[in-house]
Structure 1
Amino acid sequence: MMRVTITLCSLLCLLSLSTAYPILKGRHNDTGSNPFSPHDPSDNVTGMPDRCTGEGFGAIMLDDRGVMHYFRGDSVWMGFQGPTQRINETFQGLTGPIDAAFRNHNHEHPLEHQRVYLFKGSQVWSYFEGKPVSGYPRPISEAFPGIPDDLDAAVECHKGECRTDSVLFFKGEKVYVYSPKEDPAVKQKTWTNLGPCTAGVRWMEKYFCFNGINFTRFDPVTGERLSPRPLDTRDYFVRCPGRGHAHTVRQNATLMSIKNRCSNRSFEAFSSDDNSKIYAFRE
């Protein structure tokens, strides 16, 4: 039995290099960094804002390459760790602060699919592969009829998780569900239990509402809060010195051995999906 367990573990480690590991790195959303590596001091440039302060972010989005962007004032941070950059250095013709941002998901309209949209006041900008999309900036009322100006947050919702490919726009306690294929295209809701969202993002098929430096997970259809309590963004979404799961795991050998697929701990079950990826289950 021990030989079988070791063999399966070795096989799983080899397969992880070509199949399972892209869950972390294959779509650029990790920016190639090791999730257990310490904070890089070079990320903090003298005189530039630091993402690890308690101010939070005005907007968060994934771009068309799957890289997470965090906006605050005139600054943007790309990836879970990295230096501070000016928004106008990354997004031509745009300066901060940004009210809301999202990456569109709509396979039925290829010219809109994977475009990113950034909102400021009454205007919206659009970019694809780092370049401005022709015809933008435009008034929000033209690009997204029925959506108000001066938004607080926005997040795309995929078909199957919402009824159709949609966008959730937040302003105060109001949520505007923008679904161009439905009639009416905009439905207004009030999600008082969720509270205000200063930023929103869809990550790993889950939806997150940020309020300052804290965030909660929520149901994109009902607005139900799915987190038992607010969590700190610096422990989950950005890498900061002395914080986060990496810091906890280094202090906890038992937890490390559970998460380490190549430790001597046995697995409870193995399975594979339609794409031939192999999954191992432990606790």
Structure 2
Amino acid sequence: MDKHMCSSVEKPSCLLSLKHFCMKRNFIIICSILPVFYVSLTSGAPTTSGAPTTISVTSVSPTTTPHTPTDHEQFINTLISLGYLPPTSNLATVTLQALEEAIVLYQSYHGLEESGKFDKETQAQMSRPRCGNPDKTTSNTDRGRRFMATSGWPSTHITWNVVNYTRDLHHEQVDEAVEEAFQLWSDHTVLTFERVSGTGEDVDIRIDFSEPYTEHGDDLPFDGPGHVLAHAFLPWFSKNKGDVHFDDGETWTHKSYSGANLWLVAAHEIGHSFGLHHSFIQGSLMYPYHSGYNPEYTLHEDDIMGIEFMYGDGTPDYNTQRPGPPNNPQVPRLCIESFDAIDVAVDGYTYVYKGDYYWRLELGKITDGYPKLISQGWPGLQSEIDATVTVKNALLWRDEVGKTFFFKGRAVWRYTGRSLDIGYPKDLSTAFPGFPNNVESVTAAVEINGNGQTFFLSDGVFYLYTHRRQVEGPYSINAFRDIPSNIADAVQLQDNYMYFFTKDLRYFQVSPWTFTTSYSYPKPTTDDWFECEGAARPLIIGTPSSDASLPLYNIYTALFMLIMALVSL
């Protein structure tokens, strides 16, 4: 095999050919290391200057002339930006299997032949003008999904303003197109919209036309004419939440069949601002590709189902139950409101608490018959608790193992099953000797099953309850990499990871060994935990485990990690 048989420009297609070459000859081991082998060969291939060739997508030639991406490089970059490949991928790191799977998934979403190849039909589809928001999110991993709903605005009255205009249209035309975009949605939702004069965070949806190729405040520069027309941010997004950005490198038009039609593009992006992901029902407004101007366009049934589910019309008719009785305004809506606390109880089920109510989760969804009143489930417990944890490590907790602690302010309740233990509630420092008196409340509590150590979070710091039954700290929350300070509560699941939930309806998966956040997090809490309508594949959570050896498994896992760390020294 000639080590120069594949150039960096031809790498994806050449690797596919090499794969088939290997498989025909049953070179199984060779094929498994082919991408790495290829990179080592091409990185050492001589150039005319004698310098090694660099195949990174951001590379430049020895003459410092800017590198123009090839078709294959642009193709991979597009798959990355749309969520089909991890953001760390590039020509040098993407594997054959990952590339083929990404292509097949893209083709399946858009009704193309699932060839796994970058064929003419796939190229044509990918070159169409579209929204820059990703197709493949954490929630829509299944094929054929209809609308995808995440968390909405806590209020049904939404404010908006145009903070920067395009040069293509008069201001009055832009205003009219945007108003008509809101009107397209308002005919099918209880939401009301008001234009205000502000430009800061007091405005819910800020609309901006941004210059292409330059940073405009979100690390997502536009690509100029063609392809990405605009992008928008979901309501729960911590930065730029609800904002809509248009690429001013496009030719924007109003009531015209030429250029990019501002009315329908704006209506699509505003759908994201309401909390909707892309739909793959062609003809729906939330389909990611722009179909051009249609003066007779009306909202598709799929879009109507999505917006009515999120904000209501009084008569829901979907297969997925909403959390709580929909006609009782006093019951919190977990699809749009952050909960107060979460815990895996001694019965193995996951319980979520909000206000006066609690819910039980089973197989990633709300169990039928819930929510119920906290006062009925746990007699003597107050509502609006701050945090809860059920302790399970017998080595640390001894006679307290299996008990559930609830926290509100400095008050602590301890339950055996559903019965309040005698002498409780107690002050925080009495229940856990050594807790500082200046700690006003515990906002989150999570036990590490393997060693029994328990983390108590409070006001941007955490305290550690050790195996010596001593309180240590405070330590900065920054010890948990990428975890924000607005934590609602935390829990550890059977996969050993800790899950931190924020008050803006996101959650983080965190390693208990390295304190680092897993790739692709944070994710919307509503998608995976409450099976809100539009969530595709919920986590299998909240169900009792039949594995009685789980604590022992955790010990073995911890010992294995320790041995590996020592070996690497």
The TM-score, its normalising length taken from structure 2, stands at: 0.34
Match of 1:102 among 389, 400, 405: 389
**How is 1:264-279 mapped onto 2 (pairs within 5 angstroms)?**
none
Uncovered stretches (5+) of structure 2, i.e. residues with no partner: 1-317, 539-548, 551-569
* 2:378 partner amino acid: F
**CA distance in structure 1 between the partners assigned to 2:514 and 2:338 by the alignment:** 25
Cα deviation digits, residues 193-239 of structure 1 (max 9, x gap):
31121110111221011002110111335532224331111111122
Cα separation, partners in 2 of 1:227 and 1:169, compared to 1, 3 Å: farther
Give the greater-gyration-radius structure (CA): 2
Cα deviation digits, residues 47-92 of structure 1 (max 9, x gap):
1424433211111001110111111112211123132222111111
Q: Which residue of 2 aligns with 1:201?
A: 491
Match of 1:73 among 345, 355, 370: 355
Structure in which a larger fraction of residues adopt helix? 2
**8 Å CA contact 1:81, 1:238 repeated in 2:** yes
What is the deviation of 1:188? Answer: 2.6
**CA distance in structure 2 between the partners assigned to 1:229 and 1:152 by the alignment:** 21
**CA distance in structure 2 between the partners assigned to 1:173 and 1:126 by the alignment:** 25
**CA distance in structure 2 between the partners assigned to 1:110 and 1:175 by the alignment:** 23
**CA distance in structure 2 between the partners assigned to 1:188 and 1:100 by the alignment:** 18
**CA distance in structure 2 between the partners assigned to 1:97 and 1:105 by the alignment:** 24
What is the deviation of 1:46? Answer: 2.2
**CA distance in structure 2 between the partners assigned to 1:41 and 1:179 by the alignment:** 40
Cα separation, partners in 2 of 1:104 and 1:232, compared to 1, 3 Å: same
**How is 1:1-283 mapped onto 2 (pairs within 5 angstroms)?**
38-40=319-321, 43-47=324-328, 48-79=330-361, 80-82=365-367, 83-108=370-395, 109-147=397-435, 148-159=439-450, 164-181=451-468, 185-192=471-478, 193-196=482-485, 197-204=487-494, 205-212=496-503, 213-245=505-537
Percent of pairs identical after alignment? 23
**8 Å CA contact 2:322, 2:532 repeated in 1:** no
What's the RMSD between the two structures over aligned residues? 2.6
Cα separation, partners in 2 of 1:232 and 1:243, compared to 1, 3 Å: same
| Higher relative contact order, structure no. (Cα contacts within 8 Å, ≥ 6 residues apart) | 1
**8 Å CA contact 1:218, 1:227 repeated in 2:** no
Structure in which a larger fraction of residues adopt strand? 1
Cα separation, partners in 2 of 1:244 and 1:114, compared to 1, 3 Å: farther
Runs of 4+ in 1 over 4 A off after TM superposition: none
**CA distance in structure 2 between the partners assigned to 1:175 and 1:227 by the alignment:** 24
How many pairs does the alignment contain?
208
Cα deviation digits, residues 174-197 of structure 1 (max 9, x gap):
011111416x54233213231121
What is the deviation of 1:110? Answer: 4.0
Cα separation, partners in 2 of 1:237 and 1:41, compared to 1, 3 Å: closer
**CA distance in structure 2 between the partners assigned to 1:54 and 1:60 by the alignment:** 16
Cα separation, partners in 2 of 1:216 and 1:94, compared to 1, 3 Å: same
* 2:444 partner amino acid: A
Other structure's SS at 1:198 match: strand
Cα deviation digits, residues 157-188 of structure 1 (max 9, x gap):
123xxxx3111111122011111416x54233
**8 Å CA contact 1:62, 1:103 repeated in 2:** yes
Uncovered stretches (5+) of structure 1, i.e. residues with no partner: 1-36, 247-273, 276-283
